Amino acid sequence: MMHPITTDHGEFIAQFTSRGLARLQFPGTPAKPLDNASPLPKPWLRHTRAAISSILNGKTPKVLPPLDLSVGTKFQQQLWRALLRIPGGRTRSYGELAHALRRPQAARAIGQACGANPIPVIVPCHRVLAGGGRLGGFSGGLDWKQKLLEIEGAPFKEPQ
């Protein structure tokens, strides 16, 4: 089941499994239903709405809903958990994350794992930048990445 979350920035779509929030889609993105979606406890949707609202207002959410990151490989899940530890307003490079995960040659794989993140915004892949503080890529588009970083007051280099 798809759950719309209306914000001043558009309507996000949240989907849950029995484990927690499993997918968050940006406004204007074609909806992709989950095969294993399930009814959810009402607090999960409330926590998801509150978390998105906090993030879009430049604040750190007090509570996150349970997150179901099981769709990813072991490496992707490891990276997504590492992303949750990047504080709001801060960024890391693909290379820094590769070193932190003890995979120094994996900067490109880090980028691919960020692109596969099923719960963007809440799992903050937007805080990962290319070398030299450049934006790099983003599954929601560079406009969204730039917007989220600006909301958080995070430093980055403007696209040329």
- Domain segments of the chain: what residues? 2-56, 74-152
Q: What is the pLDDT of residue 160?
A: 61
Q: What is the pLDDT of residue 118?
A: 96
Single pTM value for the model: 0.92
The secondary structure element, H or E, covering residue 13 is strand 10-17
User: Taking the domain 74-152, which CATH number applies?
Assistant: 1.10.10.10
- pLDDT averaged over 10-residue windows placed end to end, the chain, 160 residues: 93 94 93 79 91 96 95 96 95 94 92 96 96 88 94 84
**24 within 8 A of 122, measured Cβ to Cβ:** yes
**Residues contacting 92, CB < 8 A, separation 6+:** 86, 100, 127, 128, 129
**77 within 8 A of 69, measured Cβ to Cβ:** yes
Q: What is the pLDDT of residue 117?
A: 97
Q: Token pair for residue 19?
A: 């484990």
List the catalytic residue out of 123, 125, 129, 154: 125
Query: Annotated catalytic, 114?
Result: no
Of the candidates 23, 51, 59, the residue with the CA atom closest to the CA atom of residue 153? 59
Tally of residues, the chain: 160
Q: What is the pLDDT of residue 121?
A: 97
- How many angstroms separate the CA atoms of 121 and 100, rounded? 21
